[in-house]
Amino acid sequence: MIEDYSSLLKTRLSEVLRTTNAHLSALKDLRILTIEDFYYYFPKSYRDERDMVSISQLSLDQVNVVQGTLAKLLSRRTKTNKIMTSAWLGDDTGAIEVLWFNQPHIQRLFRNGDEVILTGKIKYNGGRIYFPSPKYEIVRQKQLHSARLVPCYHEHGPITSKWIREKINPILKGTAFLPDPLPEKIIENEHLMSYGKAIRTVHDPHNEEELKQAKERLAFDELFQLHLIALKRRQEFRNKFKNTERVVTVSPENSREFILALPFELTGAQKKVIEELTVDLGLPYPMSRLIQGDVGSGKTVVAAFALYHVIKSGFQGALMAPTEILVRQHYHTLLEFLGRYHFNIQMLTGSLVNSVKRDILRQIASGTVDIVVGTQAIIQENVSFKKLGLAVIDEQHRFGVRQRELLQKQGSPHVLNLSATPIPRTLAMVLYGDQDVSILDELPPGRQEIITRLVPEEKRVDAERWIADQINKGRQIFIICPLIDESDVLGVKAVTVEYERLSTEVFREFTIGLLHGKLATDEKEHIMSKFKNGEINILVSTSVVEVGIDVPNATIMLIEGAERFGLSQLHQFRGRVGRGAHQSYCFLFTNYKNEVSLKRLKAMCEYASGFRLAEIDLASRGPGEIYGVRQSGIPDLKMASWADGVLLQRVHRAAYRYVAELGIRKITKGA
């Protein structure tokens, strides 16, 4: 018997549970070693067995939960020499025969007159109604396995849900001594259940409302701690690099000059983000801001605004992108926006000849280069900026943490991250809590919406004829396949096979390019450049075109096996077209008849917003499948859901309020 639970949470289960070595070994596999570990092994679901019926109400077509008294209990061998245990279960309304097959322990477990609860389906056979092999539980003061909301756990070997319920229930009283990690003020303001009660309730719920409150409390804690860790990282970054050397003056006159010179009107979202950047650049510590926006929302011009003011204040700027073709696109875009100011803008990539590269490196070191646009070549050991004021990183998730840190070490510059990968605002609040997040959720006026259609297989020939007509009118086409090589198991189209079919059967009169991840980097760059220059009519590719390539003349995106991709990725593909003056289209092909998959794909036809689609994707698939947990750094959650936008916003507000009131050092001590 455990008395002092407060000091024994770290007690090993081997000291307090009466069980076998096999069970203890299986617990070790699950990393459940102590009482505290056991508390945090939450149920995966709950089975509602509260609605008991009388024997006269038993139904053939559903699971029944019934309580009664056992009588005429006996065991005998069948003709096949198997043991069959039979009994009669009776209550005030009648009686029914119960049969257990090959469970000889039943005879030892029960006695005539025992009050039991049985759960299962009844059968009708040859004019006889009976209860075959039901689950059972002796009626006691507290039911664990039936006649209640029954917790169900992930099982492993001998560790069954029934075993867990029996073993954890006697030690749940220790949850009353668990220290509450949240301050009383937050618990009170957010109307949260106490921590200990929440742990106890998820393992032993009395009703749905209490269970809902317990889950909410534990989910709140999980997200709150993650948010505080992110805020701590942000504060540590600011403290570490705090200085006044990189303060950028954003004068109203210079801002007006830049904006008036643009060949278009800024959107309201762009103006709002520019105001945020104006404040950030003037602070006595480096900016760390993420700008998210759909393709075409104008992230680059906002970055150009920041680079313009950095150069005007006497600093250098850098823009880093993951591929050479993206680097070239950014280079020409910056020349368009900033060329009139006679800034020295250079491009630095690994493919440059050594003599040119050495000359650019000398200019960077001497400070004569104002802006350098490059791949990760700009963060190599031999690159040294004289006075780097701002580093812009496009598609930051394509770079490792180490690569981003190397760029930051060039004199603690301001850092501006750009991303076209849509992540719902509520998720970004926690995931990127160490950065300030700006959202460009408004497209420039006049931009045409891409017509998206879910195309049935029987319409393929019609679609291919229409595509041929579009190519003859001068348009270019993307065709995306899920795989590189053919797979009989998955039954989806491979890019190599589809390239061969299109080249030899369907579009023989056109030039077709093949692009996939197994090609060498320079070969991929060469093919993408030819497509951009109009030398290729159709580019058949895997998902490597998801981000980056800008071909204004490409007006059709055809995606094979569309059900194999998440909505966020499909939206990225769609963003490769619609970048020019011509009406653009996205065609989704699928053989799937699955209702859930078809509903997701129909959302692509209904919504143009990447953020709305990301929310739908997040709710149906989870962040691990969408963004890849390892790649994105999105932690796995035990109780919370990344799709719970309401709770994420509550946590965000509470964490910021707490930080403002008490200070980050005190808050995150031990977090």
What pLDDT score does 671 carry?
38
Give 380-436 pLDDT, tens digit per residue.
778 888 989 898 988 765 555 555 566 667 777 888 988 877 777 667 766 666 678
With beta carbons less than 8 A apart as the criterion, state whether 291 and 299 touch.
yes
Which stretches of 518-571 are assigned E, i.e. beta strand?
A: 538-541, 554-559
With beta carbons less than 8 A apart as the criterion, state whether 237 and 670 touch.
no
Q: Where in the chain is CATH 2.40.50.140?
A: 51-147
Give 294-331 pLDDT, tens digit per residue.
777 888 999 999 999 999 999 999 998 887 878 888 89
- What are the residues whose beta carbons fall under 8 Å from the beta carbon of 109, sequence distance 6 or more? none
Distance (Å, whole) CA 648 – CA 655: 10
With beta carbons less than 8 A apart as the criterion, state whether 131 and 67 touch.
no
Location of structure tokens 């300030």? 436
Stretch 532-536: mean pLDDT, rounded?
90
HEC readout, 593-632: CCHHHHHHHHHHHHCCCHHHHHHHHHHHHCHHHHHCHHHH
What pLDDT score does 343 carry?
93
Give 156-188 pLDDT, tens digit per residue.
989 988 899 989 988 888 888 888 889 889 999
What pLDDT score does 548 carry?
59
- What are the residues whose beta carbons fall under 8 Å from the beta carbon of 235, sequence distance 6 or more? 664, 665
Which residue has better confidence, 335 or 295? 335
What pLDDT score does 337 carry?
92
Dig out the tokens for 245 from the structure: 């050397």
- What are the residues whose beta carbons fall under 8 Å from the beta carbon of 295, sequence distance 6 or more? 420, 572, 575, 576, 579, 610
Location of structure tokens 């997200």? 223
Stretch 279-296: mean pLDDT, rounded?
85
- What are the residues whose beta carbons fall under 8 Å from the beta carbon of 439, sequence distance 6 or more? 269, 291, 292, 293, 425, 611
659 pLDDT band (50/70/90 cuts)? Answer: confident
Stretch 192-198: mean pLDDT, rounded?
93
CATH, domain 51-147, list 3.30.930.10, 2.40.50.140, 3.40.50.300, 3.40.50.1980: 2.40.50.140
141 pLDDT band (50/70/90 cuts)? Answer: low
φ/ψ (deg, to 5) at 110: -110, 160
Stretch 369-382: mean pLDDT, rounded?
85
669 pLDDT band (50/70/90 cuts)? Answer: very low
Distance (Å, whole) CA 392 – CA 306: 9
258 pLDDT band (50/70/90 cuts)? Answer: very high
What pLDDT score does 617 carry?
76
- Is residue 471 over pLDDT 80? yes
What pLDDT score does 417 carry?
87
- Look up residue 616 and give its amino acid: I
Give 3-43 pLDDT, tens digit per residue.
455 567 788 888 888 889 999 999 999 999 988 889 999 99
- What are the residues whose beta carbons fall under 8 Å from the beta carbon of 8, sequence distance 6 or more? 2, 35, 174
The mean pLDDT of the chain is 83
Closest CA to 600 of 583, 587, 617: 617
Distance (Å, whole) CA 55 – CA 91: 7
β-sheet bridge partners, residue 156: 159
Stretch 597-605: mean pLDDT, rounded?
86
DSSP tag of 643: T
What pLDDT score does 665 carry?
47
What pLDDT score does 187 carry?
93
**Helix, strand, coil fractions of the chain, as percent rounded to 5:** 45, 20, 35
The CATH H-level (homologous superfamily) assignment of domain 252-282+296-419 is P-loop containing nucleotide triphosphate hydrolases (3.40.50.300)
Stretch 567-575: mean pLDDT, rounded?
84
Least confident piece of the model among 81-85, 215-219, 234-238: 234-238
Neighbours of 77 (CB within 10 A): 9
What pLDDT score does 2 carry?
46
β-sheet bridge partners, residue 373: 319, 347
Which residue has better confidence, 303 or 485? 303
| Sequence-separated contacts (24+) of 111-115 with Cβ below 8 Å | 111/70, 111/73, 112/70, 112/71, 112/72, 112/73, 113/69, 113/70, 113/71, 114/69, 114/70, 114/138, 115/67, 115/68, 115/69, 115/139
Q: Dihedral (C-alpha) 528, 529, 531, 535: value to the nearest 10 degrees?
A: -140
φ/ψ (deg, to 5) at 364: -65, -45
What pLDDT score does 580 carry?
78
Distance (Å, whole) CA 55 – CA 116: 13
Q: What is the CATH number of domain 451-607?
A: 3.40.50.300
Q: Where in the chain is CATH 3.40.50.300?
A: 252-282+296-419, 451-607
